[in-house]
Structure 1
Amino acid sequence: MQMSDVTYSDVTFTKKDDAGQKQEDKAEQTQADSKHVDDGTAVYSEVKTRKHCTAKPDPVDSTPTPHPYQDSPTTLSVRCTVLLLCLCLLLLATTVTMAVLYVLKEVTNSDITQRLDNATAITRILEANITDLTQRLESLQVSYDNATVVIRTLEANLTDVQEEAWRKFSDGWKYFNGSYYYFSTDEMNWTDSRDACVTMGGHLVILNSQAEMDFIKDKGQMFWIGLTDIEEEDTFHWVDGTFFNKTTLPWLKNQPDNWEDEDCVVISSPEKTLNDAKCHEQRYRICES
């Protein structure tokens, strides 16, 4: 163990004989056992002072004493290595974090772009559907307007039909299968009968079916009908100009024979057949409307 050396010193105060001179203090380091000085001065006090001296190295231990705040080269190298490793780890973590943030940003941007594209496509589809629905709505509106016009026309026609039906029923007309029939109670020739039917808002009857013929024949009279071959012999036409095929309706036996210029046709009862007759003869008539 190393020990520190201790040095003791005496401090001597002296006073000279000359009273006019100043007192001088003289400090002098001597050995510890010195008690008096040779110049004949008096010792007033003795002060022993401990001085700090640097410890001398132990000759046995030749290892240099390290500084308390100084690291060895090995420790310094380890610390530098650790510091460098920490910096590398920090740099790596920063790089990884930046890479992850970049990837997330790219993924987010890609997802946003995809969603935007999907939304755009859906918007276009909706716009197309809206356009189609608008066109359909416009078409339906046109159809509705047309239907409204038709309904109003039908209502007006219904009113007219109702009025006409009331008038015809009042005048003695009969209704059958969508048409009105008037059986006259007075007799006229074929030409006057035709004109009288026109005046009443109709025409001499035109037979289109066996059912219609049966309805007329049940009246039990002979009536002028709207069939004639006045314009061309043996070529019969209805009053509306329609050609008549003689085989479509039954005729009286051996008729038509055009005897003495018979150019107009009656329906006879009770035979329920057709027969040609002279146009100037007075007959009942059947008007149709």
Structure 2
Amino acid sequence: MYFQGQKTLRDVEEAVHKIRASLQPNTTLDTSKELDSLQLLDEAQAGVRMLKAQLGNVSAAYGEIQIRSDGAARGAVQDGCSDVLTKLFRGWRFFGGNLYYFSQERKWWDDAEQFCVSQDSHLTSVSSQAEQEFLSNETKGEDHWIGLTDLGTEGSWRWVDGTEYRADTSRGFWEENQPDNWHQGTGGREDCVEIRPRKLNTWNDANCTQLSRWICKQAHGLAGL
């Protein structure tokens, strides 16, 4: 899949080069056709950038696979590699040995978690400043559910993937005066957490029935290799 992607990239880059050459000042195209060609060129260049990013992501994951495959059974390596590559080509992102999915749809927090579970993952936990920055950058300014909740016991926060919640190291990730357990204008409880990149990359507790995008994390997705 990786080498097929490389070949596709070369083919696309060659096509972009030909289009650019055809739009030199001596072109005989009329204005409307030239504008159409320019638009196609912009779209092709955007496709090249996207494909390069995707291949870079696959390359990073492949390097991790090679490292982790030392001493592992061949069958486990093949199965794990297949799962990783399938997710990457479906739009999952690779970072720090984990796989992440950033939704375009919006769901309640519980429905979002159920979607993640169906993908052998959970709503994401956050364990470091580097991971927080990665998630914030990838959300492109949109609020997203993460896997932090105090459902069941008010004020007792936990990550749904089983990661230990550490109040001391997480304090800097919360928005000022949050969590406050106050659902503005409607009353009710706020037991689920969203990452709000528009607000200095911080967390906010919100009502779990609020519709929002979400982030799944297949934690240590290559650990089984």
TM-score (norm 2): 0.59
Computing the radius of gyration from Cα coordinates, the structure with the larger value is 1
Which whole-Å CA distance do the structure 2 matches of 1:152 and 1:252 have between them? 44
- Pair 1:258 & 2:186 matched: no
Unaligned 5+ segments in structure 2 are: 1-68, 183-187, 219-225
- Name which structure has the greater RCO, CA cutoff 8 Å, separation 6+: 2
Match of 2:201 in 1: 272
In the TM superposition, residue 228 of structure 1 has moved relative to its aligned partner by 0.2
In 1: Cα distance, 2:195 partner to 2:168 partner: 15
* TM-score normalized by the length of structure 1: 0.46
CA shift digits 1:189-225 (9 cap, x unpaired): 0000000000011111011111111100112221111
Superposed CA deviations along residues 19-76 of structure 1, whole A, max 9, x for unmatched, are xxxxxxxxxxxxxxxxxxxxxxxxxxxxxxxxxxxxxxxxxxxxxxxxxxxxxxxxxx
After superposition, residues 1-289 of structure 1 pair within 5 angstroms as 153-218=72-137, 219=139, 220-249=141-170, 250-259=173-182, 260-270=188-198, 271-289=200-218
Equivalent residues, number = 140
Question: Contact 2:123–2:161 (CA<8 Å) still a contact in 1?
Answer: no
Pairwise CA RMSD: 1.7
Query: 1:152 Cα shift?
Result: 7.4
Q: Secondary structure at the match of 1:287?
A: strand
**What do residues 127-167 of structure 1 show as CA deviations (whole Å, max 9, x unaligned)?**
xxxxxxxxxxxxxxxxxxxxxxx967432222112201221
CA contact (8 A) 1:236 1:243 kept: no
Instruction: Give the Cα separation in 1 of the matches to 2:167 and 2:142.
Output: 22
Alignment check: 8 A CA contact 1:224 1:265 kept: yes
Partner secondary structure for residue 133 of structure 2: helix
Gap change, CA 1:162 and 1:265, over 3 Å in 2: same
Give the Cα–Cα distance (whole angstroms) in 1 for the partners of residues 201 and 123 of structure 2. Answer: 18
Give the distance between the partners of 2:142 and 2:73, measured in 1 at CA: 37
**Amino acid in the other structure paired with 2:128:** S
More helix by share: 2
Q: State the identity as a percent.
A: 39
Report if the CA contact (8 A) 2:102-2:213 is conserved: yes
